[in-house]
Amino acid sequence: MATEHAPNASEYIVHHLTHLNSLGHKQAALVDWTVFHLDTLFWSVTLGLLAVLILARAASKATSGVPGRFQAAVEILVEMVESQSKSIVHGDRSFIAPLALTVFVWIFFMNAMDLLPVDLLPRLWEGAYAVTGHDPAHAYQRVVPTADLNATLGMSLGVFLLTIYYSIKIKGIGGWTHELFTAPFGSHPVLYPVNFAMQMIEFVAKTVSHGMRLFGNMYAGELIFMLIALMGAAWAGTFGSGLLWVGGVFAGTIWAIFHILIITLQAFIFMMLTLVYIGQAHESH
Amino acid sequence: MNLNATLFAQLVVFLILAWFTMTFVWPPIMKALDERAGKIADGLAAADKAKADLAHAEKMASDELRKARESAAEFRAGAERQVAQLIEDSRAEGARIVNAAREAAEAEAGAASQRAKEVLREHVAALAVAGAERILRKEINAQVHAELLTQLKSEL
């Protein structure tokens, strides 16, 4: 890139929004089940392992005596998740409560990648490309897994499968089928197709909105960080560009502080909706 | 914003992480929390018991104190009664001795006055006889007039 011209704003954004995938170039089709996003997989698995290992470390050292600060912090988290799950899900929570804890901590960690400087890891990746003799212009790297629709829809699909599992487990296959055709409008043969259609719409809407909500928030947040970075990059030695640079610092600070709230809130919302959807599988209409 | 197989990989990772948390994270932490809750409950119960014990001990101590005070008062009352009795006895004894002494003195004084009277009578009789002798210039035979004199003496 040193020999070429610096990217313009549009190229900068497009470059930042392109995933490192198994094709090596941008995926052409909207849906292609043969492709993997290597960056999303790497960061989500790494952060997931980091999250559960931190929790496991706290768990292995947990004592019933006076807790240290680390243990107390993890315990606050666990008690929060436990009380939320207890109030939402009525039934056996031996898997559901740990699931909610995993969801919260993992998504928080993935969201928190947004707080790293937006160019830091991609620029290091470009450097690694350049060193190994590849073209850094094709060194794509996106470090926020939750800003990838595949990751968020993957998790919401997991929640969807769990709701089906718990629906069948709690109500039995017959009870659940009966519910699919008789709820929400009532048990009458004329209403069966309407009920079934409503149930299907509900499932699709819940699952898609569950994944899309997190994706949309993180994608938009990442995009705004890029725009702020562009603002800061406008520095060219003139007074006007200097003002833009100051504005970039100012806006970057404000947005990052606000984003602390967003990443926590979105992780919490995803966890709460996970509990609500699985909780609904436990209640009969 | 493309959909691809990352989605399913993420799904599998999601379930594996949740399983890991369920197996290795959740149970030890919940166990520690429950155990601590138990310990705190035990501690509170022990504190309540200690408080009850203390109240019991305080009540016992105050009972003992009251009993001691009562017995001391009783003892003092007994001693006072005894002392009063002693004083009363000695006062009566004293009075008795004083009375006896007075009676003895009175008897003594009576006897002395009787004796004095006797002596006086003798003297008066002799004086009367001597007076009569002087008047009559004549000796009176004492033996002859003894009866008369004795009569006179007894009249005095």
pLDDT tens-digit readout, B91-113: 999 999 999 999 999 999 999 99
Q: Compute the nearest-CA separation of A156 from chain B (Å).
A: 8
Given this model, what pLDDT does residue A3 score?
A: 42
Cβ–Cβ of B9/A64 closer than 8 Å? no
Given this model, what pLDDT does residue B100 score?
A: 94
Q: How far is CA B60 from CA A12, A117, B55, B57, in A?
A: 87, 73, 9, 5
A216 class by beta-carbon count within 10 Å (0-12 exposed, 13-18 middle, 19+ buried): middle
Cβ–Cβ of A150/B20 closer than 8 Å? no
Q: Look-up: residue for tokens 């929390």? A: B33
What letter represents residue A163's amino acid? T
Q: Compute the nearest-CA separation of A38 from chain B (Å).
A: 8
**What's the complex ipTM?**
0.85
Find the residue in A nearest to B29 (Cα).
A59
Given this model, what pLDDT does residue A1 score?
A: 37
Given this model, what pLDDT does residue A236 score?
A: 73
What is the count of residue pairs from A and B with beta carbons less than 8 Å apart? 145
Residues 6+ apart with CB under 8 A from A273: A159, A210, A213
Is residue A39 within 8 Å of residue A143, measured between CB atoms?
yes
Lowest mean pLDDT segment, chosen from A66-70, A152-156, A219-223, B83-87: A66-70
Given this model, what pLDDT does residue A2 score?
A: 40
- From the list A60, A78, A150, the residue facing B4 with the nearest CB is A150
Residues of A in contact with B41 (CB under 8 A): none
Percent of chain A at pLDDT > 90 equals 53
Alpha helices in chain B (DSSP H): 6-20, 26-136, 146-155
Residues of B in contact with A145 (CB under 8 A): 10
Express each pLDDT in A132-148 by its tens digit: 877 777 788 889 999 99
Express each pLDDT in A99-131 by its tens digit: 999 999 999 999 999 999 888 888 888 888 888
Cβ–Cβ of A58/B26 closer than 8 Å? no
Token output for B41: 């409950």
pTM value?
0.76
